[in-house]
Amino acid sequence: MSSATPEETPAAAPAAEAGLGLRERKKLRTRQAIRAAARRLIDARGYDATTIEQIAAAAEVSPSTVFRYFRNKEQIVLRDEDYAFTGAELLRARPADEPPLVALRAAVSAMVRASYEEFNAEYRWRMELVRQVPALRAQMHEGQDKAVEVLTAALTERAGHGKDRLELRVVVGALLGGLHQVVLEWGDHDQKGDLPEMFDRALTVLEEGLTPHTPHTTPG
């Protein structure tokens, strides 16, 4: 079975490069080459035994080039597209009269489903590594902290000052934490089952029990 991810296949390359200038296309191809090399080595040697130097040699670039594109080895595996900002844009596009949790659920659900369906095989590979490798789990938690900040800011901006920022932050954190637990459960059962449907079930649980309210105000 080929280890190439969808973003590295010939069919996917033109779509990924559409609208990019020559410089941006070269950068994208370098990133793809580094990722493809990393996956080949990790599949063959294991995550811990694979070094940045080995990845650089396999991708025919220097270690300094690898570090120019990726902060560390964990970031090579955990695709660097900033899903938090994508989720924030989807959130801002939701109807203005939707309750915060309803809008957040719709935005995150759309983002997760699109990611999973577009990069199914790669997503499964990454999530299995996350389940196995503590360093990857730590990196993912760091990314979740950033996502909480970005999505809370988008919710606060969308809701205005009538909603308590702390409550919104708690809701966002609970939602992302719940999704992380779904991924772990999915991995514990050999990645069987419809992951987007499992996400939706988790979001339903959270929506039924976590509804932020407008703080009471004292009449003037």
Residue-wise pLDDT for 4-51, tens only, equals: 443 444 444 444 555 557 888 888 899 999 999 999 999 999 999 999
- Residue range 83-209, CATH number: 1.10.357.10
Residue with the bigger pLDDT between 38 and 203: it is 38
Residue with the bigger pLDDT between 150 and 37: it is 37
CATH 1.10.357.10 domain range(s) in the chain: 83-209
Class of domain 6-71: mainly alpha
- The answer on pLDDT for 217 being more than 70 is no
pLDDT of residue 2: 35
CATH 1.10.10 domain range(s) in the chain: 6-71
pLDDT of residue 86: 79
Indicate the pTM of the whole model: 0.62
On average, the pLDDT of the chain sits at 79
- The answer on pLDDT for 145 being more than 70 is yes
Secondary structure in 3-state letters for the chain: CCCCCHHHCCCHHHHHHCCCCHHHHHHHHHHHHHHHHHHHHHHHHCCCCCCHHHHHHHHCCCHHHHHHHCCCHHHHHCCCCCHHHHHHHHHHCCCCCCCHHHHHHHHHHHHHHHHHHHCHHHHHHHHHHHHHCHHHHHHHHHHHHHHHHHHHHHHHHHHHHHCCHHHHHHHHHHHHHHHHHHHHHHHHCCCCCCHHHHHHHHHHHHHHHCCCCCCCCCCC
- The answer on pLDDT for 162 being more than 80 is no
